[in-house]
């Protein structure tokens, strides 16, 4: 497993690693569907104009052009807003999809979306150029009750809790709270303050203070207030009293306090220990308008956020019609990379196959296929040997592929099955024999740290 | 459903359409895993050099370049062999993956791979620019028994047979048979003949004859022989006698006849009616070396092949080490587009949700979530209303989303569940109530033509 990708930033898994990824994806899908989220996929490409509509992220985008077309796609230069480029997240494409298909969707529309996205960034641990995201969002037509902010956080906590990963914390803040507070202390450029606060973990409070003073002209008092707010972190709703003790009054601040209180209150009850109010969370992207979330794996904080998102009230609109939404995005590749590199989970075997049907003569391939068909009809993954080699060689073949059982049929049509791990061989009827539940399908289980 | 994609050639499905696609994908995955195929995915991008190594397909390829980098990716021009481009199939990337990871794989290596691919072609019915393929391949180290050619065809027949699609035919030929025959009649440029014969369905025998004469200098007798061979089509092994009656003798021809006979013989027995020997099948791509397959939907022949592939003995190699393979690729998007446009299959409802838990007061959301948690613990997909609107309005909401059951809890904690299709409302216990098997999960079933 000490392989390196042949193209930096484009990870590929071996079959036994892919089994771990599939387990993660299946678990997420199951949880999302149990909560009534519909699956959709959007095309991998958007127009450059659509992608660059929000935020200044153009340095990360891969543009497309047909190889034989030196002018770029259909004669367009790659900076032409109609040129095509690969999507860099699933939120912007989803907003476009909602607007285009509004007439065919029932609102509030709940969807999950699990797809690859691409960013032309410099690859490093936890950051790939091609990676899989798993998103859930709820989008309303006109308005969207705040309750969905609470629900989304709970669904994600349940989904992450079902994965073979270390303990995690959703760190939740609210943009209204922060922006209202900044306005309350007289800092009008709230987006600028958020951008600086967003750097807190990376550059530390002194440098953030410097930024706030030099770039936004903040006073010492304003800087101190902003940093005090960002320092508040509670596992219950006591953050409300701590904010109030800072003595700032503003209507938007009150609204934000009330919203964040609702999320934390529900989480304390329904996902105890999984959620903290963390008033340093800002999120760089500027389309968030309320709840904002980042998530860390406990003990793996340097990996960065494994699940982020929040409320966006103005990302999607069609004329006067607005489609406010709230959603969270799990960084599947980041999680799976960590699981694999630190052996946090393992597949019980490396192939789906439970049984290899051996051949005792080359012309018994048809009979062996009949046995296999009977086993498969009961959901037992089975393959048939291609050559009637010595049984020892066929057993070795099964062992090398990680197949637990080998099936033998002798010249008189007597059937036996051997568990090649224990060496135990017993008579068996292809019409009824079934392995234990643990051996029927590949099991992926978390490995406890020693 | 009469929507058109907002970008021509990049289809996107509505949630209820996606349920049909998911059913197709889940069915294929289940069949492939039952036969012991491992899942892998390869990155969406390859180097231009890798992609253009075989065949002259460069006009179909989408190159990549980062938007801020006017020189192309990392200063490379887009025709630089190290520049990046999107893969146009899954066979070429798989061959590269096998060579790179040979030390970590157990051969013969069986894998399935379900991913999107991209081709910059002019979109038309059945041909998209972004589409999903589902491939199975077996690759050997050094050699690969011919039996896998037979097995692959049978697995694909079983997989297609499990889908909600019309009847289908695998049309199978063998390159050795055709090339041996051409050599036997003195046509040395066998690749050239194959390219012309490949156009038979499109341009007809007269124009193919013209091509063979003008481009390859074939005589009338040679042309007649080649066209006679291409005219042979049998549902059993009688094609062998028909070929022999043409009186051509060649060693490679004999080898091909024997191989194709093995495939057809097994198929007649194990997949009756699903396979024909069709000696007109050529396949344009030149990496095939033996078995070649195309597949048509009966009554939808103009849609083109929905599953193609064959044996390739020289696609992957590492120094002197060769990795011969055989595989088939299902055109999932082509199939799903046809299913949807002709209403060949339908989902039993449009959302995964089976139950909506209604609210009788806004502050009962927590209790409603408790009910939902109990239902979900038994695998029942459940969502909770966000607002305590009038019951009629909440029922209407469920109806609009396609949710079959609404759950009510009155002020005394008495539970009832209503089937909103029949209107029947009964007492129910959240700890034990379960819908019928048909209502538990979304069912996708084929719709018989009237």
pLDDT of A373: 97
* Nearest one of B286, B78, B292, B309 to B193, comparing CA atoms: B286
pLDDT of B397: 93
Distance CA B331, CA B168 (A): 13
pLDDT of B181: 98
pLDDT > 90 fraction of chain A, expressed in percent and rounded: 84
Chain B residue with CA closest to A47: the answer is B7
Cβ distance A62 to B58 less than 8 Å, yes or no, reads: no
The DSSP 8-state label assigned to residue A106 in this structure reads P
Chain A residues within 8 A of B6 when measuring between CB atoms: 96, 100
**Stretches in chain B below the pLDDT threshold 50:** 1-2, 58, 72-73
* Contact assessment for residue A226 and residue A236, using Cβ atoms and an 8 Å cutoff: no
pLDDT class for A1, splitting at 50, 70, 90? very low
Q: Does position A376 have pLDDT exceeding 80, yes or no?
A: yes
Round the average pLDDT of chain A to a whole number and report it.
Answer: 93
pLDDT of B70: 55
CATH class of B167-298: alpha beta
pLDDT class for A56, splitting at 50, 70, 90? low
Cβ distance A7 to B266 less than 8 Å, yes or no, reads: no
A313's tokens: 């009230």
Distance CA A430, CA A415 (A): 8
Burial class (CB in 10 A: 0-12, 13-18, 19+), B101: middle
Chain B residues within 8 A of A34 when measuring between CB atoms: 352, 376, 379-382
When pLDDT is averaged across residues A318-338 and rounded to a whole number, the result is: 95
Distance CA B80, CA B65 (A): 12
pTM score over 0.90: yes
Q: How many CB atoms lie within 10 A of CB B60?
A: 17
Q: Are strands B84-86 and A307-312 parallel, antiparallel or unpaired?
A: unpaired
Distance CA A169, CA B280 (A): 62
Of A33, A43, A47, the CB nearest to B352: A33
When pLDDT is averaged across residues A151-162 and rounded to a whole number, the result is: 97
pLDDT of B1: 45
Indicate where chain B has its CATH 3.40.50.800 domain(s). 355-446
What is the three-state SS of A131-177?
EEEEEEEEECCCCCCCHHHHHHHHHHHHHHHCCCCCCEEEEEEEHHH
Alpha helices in A285-343 (DSSP H): 332-341
Distance CA B289, CA A43 (A): 35
Cβ distance B61 to A79 less than 8 Å, yes or no, reads: no
Cβ distance A66 to B85 less than 8 Å, yes or no, reads: no
The H or E element containing residue B265 is helix B251-270
Of B63, B97, B110, the CB nearest to A65: B63
Q: Does position A111 have pLDDT exceeding 90, yes or no?
A: yes
Of A68, A84, A352, the CB nearest to B58: A68
Chain A residue with CA closest to B109: the answer is A401
A107's tokens: 């609102």
Choice between A143 and A68, residue whose per-residue pLDDT is larger: A143
pLDDT > 70 fraction of chain A, expressed in percent and rounded: 95
Q: Could you report the per-residue pLDDT of B111-120, keeping only the tens digit for each?
A: 999 999 999 8
DSSP of A375-407: HHTTT--EEE-SS---HHHHHHHHHHHT--EEE
Chain B residues within 8 A of A42 when measuring between CB atoms: 12
Chain B residue with CA closest to A386: the answer is B147
Cβ distance B148 to A386 less than 8 Å, yes or no, reads: yes
pLDDT of A164: 95
Indicate where chain B has its CATH 3.30.930.10 domain(s). 167-298
Residue B325 pairs in a beta bridge with B139, B312
The three-state secondary structure class of A66 is strand
When pLDDT is averaged across residues A443-450 and rounded to a whole number, the result is: 80
The H or E element containing residue B295 is strand B291-297
Burial class (CB in 10 A: 0-12, 13-18, 19+), B254: middle
* Nearest one of B167, B115, B158, B149 to B27, comparing CA atoms: B158
Of B12, B40, B67, the CB nearest to A63: B67
pLDDT of B54: 63
Look up the CATH architecture of domain A355-446.
Answer: 3-Layer(aba) Sandwich (3.40)
Burial class (CB in 10 A: 0-12, 13-18, 19+), A11: buried
Of A41, A145, A387, the CB nearest to B387: A145
Cβ distance A36 to B351 less than 8 Å, yes or no, reads: yes
Cβ distance B41 to A18 less than 8 Å, yes or no, reads: yes
pLDDT class for A59, splitting at 50, 70, 90? low
């Amino acid at each position: 497993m000490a392989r390196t990708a042949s193209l930096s930033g484009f990870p590929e898994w071996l079959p036994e690693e892919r089994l771990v990824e599939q387990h993660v994806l299946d678990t997420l899908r199951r949880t999302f569907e149990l909560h009534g989220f519909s699956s959709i996929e959007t095309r991998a490409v958007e127009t450059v104009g659509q992608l660059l509509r929000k935020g200044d992220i153009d340095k990360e985008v891969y543009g497309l052009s047909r190889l034989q077309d030196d002018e770029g796609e259909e004669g367009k230069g790659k900076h032409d807003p109609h040129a095509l480029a690969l999507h860099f997240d699933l939120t912007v494409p989803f907003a476009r999809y909602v607007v285009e298909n509004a007439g065919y969707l029932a609102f509030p529309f709940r969807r999950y979306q699990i797809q690859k996205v691409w960013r032309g960034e410099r690859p490093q641990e936890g950051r790939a150029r091609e990676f899989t995201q798993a998103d859930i969002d709820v989008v309303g037509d006109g308005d969207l009750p705040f309750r969905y902010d609470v629900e989304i956080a709970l669904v994600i906590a349940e989904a992450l809790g079902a994965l073979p990963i270390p303990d995690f914390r959703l760190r939740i803040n609210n943009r209204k709270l922060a922006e209202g507070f900044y306005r309350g202390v007289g800092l009008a450029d709230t987006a600028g303050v958020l951008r600086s606060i967003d750097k807190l973990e990376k550059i530390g409070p002194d440098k953030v203070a410097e930024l706030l003073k030099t770039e936004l002209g903040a006073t010492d008092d304003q800087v101190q207030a902003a940093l005090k707010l960002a320092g508040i972190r509670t596992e219950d709703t006591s953050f409300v009293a701590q904010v109030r003790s800072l003595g700032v009054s503003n209507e938007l601040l009150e609204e934000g306090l009330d919203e964040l209180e609702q999320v934390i209150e529900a989480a304390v009850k329904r996902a105890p220990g999984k959620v903290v109010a963390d008033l340093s969370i800002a999120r760089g992207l500027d389309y968030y308008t309320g709840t904002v979330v980042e998530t860390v794996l406990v003990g793996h904080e340097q990996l960065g956020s494994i699940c982020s998102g929040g409320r966006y009230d103005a990302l999607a609109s069609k004329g006067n019609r607005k489609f406010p939404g709230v959603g969270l995005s799990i960084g599947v590749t980041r999680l799976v990379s960590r699981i694999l590199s630190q052996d946090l989970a393992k597949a019980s075997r490396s192939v789906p196959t439970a049984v290899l049907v051996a051949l005792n003569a080359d012309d018994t391939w048809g009979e062996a296929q009949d046995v296999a068909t009977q086993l498969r009809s009961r959901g037992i993954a089975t393959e048939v040997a291609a050559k009637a080699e010595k049984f020892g060689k066929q057993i070795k073949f099964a062992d090398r592929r990680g197949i637990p059982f080998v099936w033998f049929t002798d010249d008189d049509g007597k059937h036996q099955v051997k568990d090649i791990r224990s060496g135990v061989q017993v008579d068996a009827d292809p019409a009824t024999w079934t392995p234990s539940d643990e051996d029927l399908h590949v099991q992926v289980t978390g490995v406890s740290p020693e």
